[in-house]
């Protein structure tokens, strides 16, 4: 079997830190090869070296058996290496075709761009690899999944033989993930080689043949995926035995803390996104809200936290009506909120980590006194939070959060919100973008908060998470409650049906 890429004994030093330590990665032709590791394990550095963004301190790189020196990304492109970045690099107001051909436009005799030819080529490529996209749609009008396909087509248009996917599923819905897996298979069938960077074990199981595991800059080993269990891979990645199932003692629910009654909320389009929605959550229990993305979860979370106007119905926090109260007043009624969009809402990206830790509490002592910020108290608090929630960043608490990895950003938000020890917790997608170790930590903390007596509403697109953590499960479909069941009495299949509107089920026991 020939290797498409060989990175042999790669070591990369940065001032004060060795990011890659004698890593060897051999990728066979015509396979999907996964690169697995926690955030900060050295995956990005290794790929940056392969892509010519960094030069290795020592080690050699071979492409198709020939030793090469990749001095910059153009060299990588010429060698047929293409990268699908986690954050797409597309021009929003251009069409799909325009984005794909940008920088390598076919020309007419007059020297103008030959759009007809370009369009044909794009259509032909998308047919061959099973990547259905509308070549004339504007990027701003297509879904994230489609945008990713455009990124892939960009690589194919440039005749890339080796495609690197950097965390490709982080931004996708479950359906899109399934489709992406299929696309990868098609690509391999057509003679491409794929290097998949991820920390999601399920996807590796589904798509990859071989898997190289990195931990703390070292290569732990390369394994055959079909012979290795997820647990084993997780153990290799984290360095200890990881439990996916959080130990969750029986809930002992108390008074109703969160009372949502006949709620109607309008969405961005002006139509009702949440319809006649009622739900009660008691102290000391976790209610998971399952649903397919875009069925009103976002609007519901905004309505409960005061971030959007409620059309009709009421929301009560511990008996007090907060339906039309300000956001600040929601927090004062002892609520915390892990928001869905960590960049838009969760963080002030240009603030430092410590400044982000106090966005709700900067007005309170000890963080400020008489309107003056007490930086020392904030410093101490930040150190404690980062320690407790394992938030890692380059310059500690003074790191600008924009420069932190997605996983650590998410951990910082979770740390800030959970540390408030609120009575009412609105938690949306708390483990999105986190690696296995961090997921375990966050899930434990959620249960911990429950046991301290909090009423938790967990909104997640990942059914695993809902099934794993919830005491009761509510299902939302098309803005309405389509099911309310006890976790112990329901199967994954039934929930799936309720999510798609094929089943409506309300347990007597689950009603309160």
The length of the chain, given as a count of residues: 512
170 near other proteins, judged by CB under 8 A: no
Q: How far is the CB of 503 from other proteins (least distance, A)?
A: 35
Is the Cβ of residue 53 or residue 123 nearer to other proteins in the bound state?
53
Instruction: Report how far residue 196's alpha carbon sits from residue 218's, in angstroms, rounded to the nearest whole number.
Output: 18
423 near other proteins, judged by CB under 8 A: no
**Alpha-carbon dihedral angle through residues 493, 495, 499, 505, given to the nearest 10 degrees:** 120
Residues 49-88, one symbol each (x = binds other proteins by CB under 8 A, - = not), give: ----x-----------------------------------
Residues 469-505 as b/e (b if ≥16 CB within 10 A, e otherwise) read bbbbbbbbbbbbbbbbbebeebeeebbbbbbeeebeb
337, 392, 411, 450: which one contacts other proteins (CB under 8 A)? 337
Q: How far is the CB of 18 from other proteins (least distance, A)?
A: 18
360 near other proteins, judged by CB under 8 A: yes
Give the DSSP H or E segment for 142: none
Q: Which span sits near other proteins by CB under 8 A: 314-322, 370-378, 423-431, 445-453?
A: 370-378
Classify residue 271 by burial, with Cβ atoms within 10 Å: 0-12, 13-18, 19+.
Answer: exposed
* Angle 234-238-239 from CA coordinates, rounded to 5°: 105
Q: Which span sits near other proteins by CB under 8 A: 153-161, 186-194, 344-352, 469-477?
A: 344-352
Give the DSSP H or E segment for 193: strand 193-198
Q: Which positions ≥6 away from 110 have C-beta within 8 Å?
A: none
Q: How far is the CB of 427 from other proteins (least distance, A)?
A: 14
Q: How far is the CB of 340 from other proteins (least distance, A)?
A: 11
Which CA distances in Å does 20 have to 75, 215, 339, 417, 434?
A: 22, 10, 34, 34, 21
Task: Phi first, then psi: give them for residue 273, nearest 5 degrees.
Answer: -100, -30
Residues touching other proteins, count (CB under 8 A)? 26
377 near other proteins, judged by CB under 8 A: no
355 near other proteins, judged by CB under 8 A: yes
Q: Which span sits near other proteins by CB under 8 A: 21-29, 197-205, 357-365, 474-482?
A: 357-365
149, 192, 248, 330: which one contacts other proteins (CB under 8 A)? 330
Site for other proteins in 305-324 (CB under 8 A): 307
17 near other proteins, judged by CB under 8 A: no
Where are the extended beta strands (E) located within 416-489? 424-428, 455-459, 472-477, 480-486
345 near other proteins, judged by CB under 8 A: yes
Instruction: Report how far residue 397's alpha carbon sits from residue 258's, in angstroms, rounded to the nearest whole number.
Output: 34
Binding site for other proteins (CB under 8 A): 53, 307, 326-328, 330-331, 337, 339, 344-351, 355, 359-360, 362-363, 368, 371-373
């Amino acid at each position: 079997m020939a290797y498409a890429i060989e990175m042999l004994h790669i070591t990369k030093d940065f001032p004060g830190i060795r990011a890659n330590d004698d890593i060897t990665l051999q990728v066979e032709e015509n396979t999907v090869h996964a690169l697995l590791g926690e955030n900060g394990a050295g995956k990005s550095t290794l790929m940056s070296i392969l892509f010519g963004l960094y030069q290795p301190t020592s080690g050699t790189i071979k492409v198709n058996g020939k030793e090469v020196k990749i001095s910059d990304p153009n060299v990588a492109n010429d060698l047929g290496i293409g990268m699908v970045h986690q954050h797409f690099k597309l021009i929003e107001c251009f069409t799909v075709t325009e984005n794909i051909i940008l920088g390598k436009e076919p020309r007419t005799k007059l020297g103008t761009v030959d759009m007809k030819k370009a369009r044909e080529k794009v259509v032909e490529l998308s047919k061959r690899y099973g990547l259905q996209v509308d070549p004339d749609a504007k990027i701003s009008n297509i879904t994230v999944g489609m945008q990713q396909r455009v990124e892939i087509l960009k690589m194919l248009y440039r005749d890339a033989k080796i495609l690197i996917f950097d965390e490709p599923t982080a931004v996708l819905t479950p359906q899109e993930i399934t489709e992406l897996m299929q696309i990868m298979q098609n690509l391999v069938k057509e003679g491409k080689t794929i290097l998949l960077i991820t920390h999601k074990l399920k996807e590796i199981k589904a798509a990859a043949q071989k898997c190289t595991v990195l931990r703390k800059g070292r290569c732990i080993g390369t394994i055959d995926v079909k012979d290795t269990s997820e647990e084993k891979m997780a153990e290799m990645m984290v360095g200890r035995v990881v439990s996916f199932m959080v130990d969750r003692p029986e809930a002992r629910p108390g008074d109703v803390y969160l009372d949502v009654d006949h709620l109607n909320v309008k969405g961005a389009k002006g139509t009702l996104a949440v319809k006649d929605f009622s739900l009660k959550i008691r102290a000391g229990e976790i209610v998971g809200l399952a649903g397919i993305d875009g069925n009103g979860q976002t609007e519901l979370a905004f309505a409960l936290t005061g971030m959007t106007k409620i059309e009709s119905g009421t929301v009560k926090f511990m008996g007090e009506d907060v339906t039309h109260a300000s956001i600040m007043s929601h927090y004062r009624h002892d609520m915390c909120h892990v928001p869905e969009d960590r960049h838009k809402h969760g963080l002030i990206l240009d603030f430092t980590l410590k400044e982000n830790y106090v966005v709700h509490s900067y007005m309170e002592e000890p963080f400020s006194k008489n309107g003056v910020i007490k930086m020392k108290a904030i410093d101490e608090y930040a150190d404690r939070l980062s320690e407790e929630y394992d938030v890692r960043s380059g310059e500690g608490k003074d790191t600008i959060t924009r420069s932190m990895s997605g996983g650590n950003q998410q951990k910082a938000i979770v740390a800030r919100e959970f540390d408030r020890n609120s009575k009412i917790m609105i938690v949306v997608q708390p483990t999105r973008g986190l690696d296995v170790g961090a997921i375990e930590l966050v899930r434990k903390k959620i249960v911990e908060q429950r046991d301290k007596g909090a009423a938790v509403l967990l909104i997640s697109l990942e059914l695993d998470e809902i099934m794993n953590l919830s005491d009761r499960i509510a299902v939302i479909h098309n803005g309405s409650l389509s099911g309310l069941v006890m976790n112990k009495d329901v199967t994954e299949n039934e929930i799936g049906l309720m999510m798609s509107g094929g089943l409506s089920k309300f347990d007597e026991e689950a009603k309160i």
